[in-house]
Structure 1
Amino acid sequence: MYKRWFATDGRTMVPAVIRNYGAEDFAELIAVQAASFPPPFPPELWWNERQLAEHVARFPEGALCAEIDGKIAGSMTALRRTLPEGERHDWETVTDGGYIRNHEPDGDTVYVVDICVRPEYRKFGLGQWLMQSMYETVVHLGCRRLLGGGRMPGYKAHADRLTPEAYLEEVKKGELSDPVLTFLLRCGRVPVGVARNYLEDEDSLGCAALMEWRNPFA
């Protein structure tokens, strides 16, 4: 994939590119992770070069990065799996701990491993551009859907009165806003369930919403 356009933060227009990443990008991709997930996020959960090498080797179509003025500002990674409808799973198992060695070349689902954007570039809509590009990958490959677990970092503040399912419902209705779930809903993702113990994430209390996008041509 190679896509060029002019991104804007509402004031400035800058040249932007979405493309597949390669070995020459690994150091910069790890730096993007560090900027996107600062402490108390555990540094050992940032990408390492072995994981990135697996992404490029096993499913290059699912290894995307976004550049602003030639600098990598964000990335998105996926693998292919075939997963039963309604199956509950955790991030570690479904993504092989981010190494994607369980990638299925004929899997009917493009599963999102990670998406991140440097904080200083988040007003340029790069997350939505990356998501749209992965939708295009789903269509190009003839897969049935895109699926992934969305963190719910706003949940901890409401856990004393809401279950994760009830919290998700309030976000869906617009009564609450969540930094991740609201973004995914705006990108066209549809919740299909809640997974507990999905990822070690204190703010989400380990919960995630399973968020789907169906290929309209499949």
Structure 2
Amino acid sequence: MFRKELYLFNDGIPVKTVFRQYTQTDFEQLLLIQKESFPPPFPSELWWNTDQLQNHVNFFPEGAICAEIDGRIIGSMTGLIVQFDHNVHQYHSWEDATDNGYITNHLPSGNSLYVVDICVAPSYRKLGVGKWLMQSMYEIVISLNLERLIGGGRVPGYHKVSKDHSINEYVDAILTGKLKDPVMSFLLHCGRTPVCPVENYLEDEDSCHYGMLMEWKNPFT
């Protein structure tokens, strides 16, 4: 059972925060956070539903993590185990990799933890909750002796320059500090490194339907 406590800082004030596996009793709060974190025009049908959450805790409870302050869930992160191959997985979608969030394709014998989702309630994002959720998943990768954490992130800033720049040029501009992207830059801050952009990764006009595949390699394997 994964559980840890640490202090995050809210306007300079330390606040005890619990990171733990979420369970069925947390579903109502988790669904509310989805709505807060991904408001319209984000498609509501892409929010979690109860059946998906139930699969998360049934198939891979180790990969179903939440952050909690004073009994209130403020963020969550979900993963599944896959057998990852760099050559094959350059061509896949989020829906294929996660079975549309239902993770029925979870493979306990696989080599990599694949990120399904991460979200943090907007009013708590300044505490660095997302980074600590990611760190928690790294700890799970190490605990399970997996090779890596991997997953595709949105590149929502790309649509602003897509007429003049290819996706590879956009990524290079971020890596050289010329541009910042709300998601890719966050993942870089969390220790993830780029693998490759994936075309038609998800239905997301801001990202021009690209996802940026990024990984964190287990330093002990």
TM-score range with shorter-chain normalisation? over 0.9
Asked whether 1:213 is paired with 2:216, we answer yes
Corresponding residue of 2:151: 148
Structure 1 contact 150–180 (Cα < 8 Å) conserved: yes
TM-score, normalising length: structure 1: 0.98
Shift of residue 10 of structure 1?
A: 4.1
1:162 pairs with one of 157, 162, 165:
165
- RMSD of equivalent CA atoms: 0.8
Asked whether 1:119 is paired with 2:126, we answer no
1:128-168 deviation per Cα after TM superposition (whole angstroms, max 9, x unaligned): 00000000000000000000001001110011111111111
Shift of residue 11 of structure 1?
A: 2.1
Structure 1 contact 80–103 (Cα < 8 Å) conserved: yes
Q: Alignment partner of 1:130: what SS? A: helix
Corresponding residue of 2:61: 60
Corresponding residue of 2:182: 179
Distance in 2 between residues matched to 1:21 and 1:66, nearest whole Å: 9
Shift of residue 84 of structure 1?
A: 1.3
Corresponding residue of 1:47: 48
Shift of residue 216 of structure 1?
A: 0.4
Corresponding residue of 1:103: 106
Identical amino acids, percent of aligned pairs: 53
Unaligned runs of at least 5 residues, structure 1: none
Distance in 2 between residues matched to 1:174 and 1:183, nearest whole Å: 13
Q: Alignment partner of 1:5: what SS? A: strand
Distance in 1 between residues matched to 2:24 and 2:77, nearest whole Å: 15
Distance in 2 between residues matched to 1:119 and 1:52, nearest whole Å: 21
| Amino acid corresponding to residue 160 of structure 2 in structure 1 | A
Q: Alignment partner of 1:168: what SS? A: helix
Distance in 2 between residues matched to 1:83 and 1:217, nearest whole Å: 18
Distance in 2 between residues matched to 1:197 and 1:177, nearest whole Å: 22
Structure 1 contact 9–125 (Cα < 8 Å) conserved: no
TM-score, normalising length: structure 2: 0.97
Distance in 2 between residues matched to 1:45 and 1:95, nearest whole Å: 13
2:194 pairs with one of 187, 191, 196:
191
Structure 1 contact 14–69 (Cα < 8 Å) conserved: no
Question: After the TM superposition, which segments of 4 or more aligned residues of structure 1 sit over 6 Å from their partners?
Answer: none
1:23-58 deviation per Cα after TM superposition (whole angstroms, max 9, x unaligned): 000011010100000000011100000000000000
Distance in 2 between residues matched to 1:70 and 1:27, nearest whole Å: 13
| Amino acid corresponding to residue 62 of structure 1 in structure 2 | G
Distance in 1 between residues matched to 2:188 and 2:203, nearest whole Å: 23
Corresponding residue of 1:34: 35
Corresponding residue of 2:8: 7
Q: Alignment partner of 1:169: what SS? A: helix
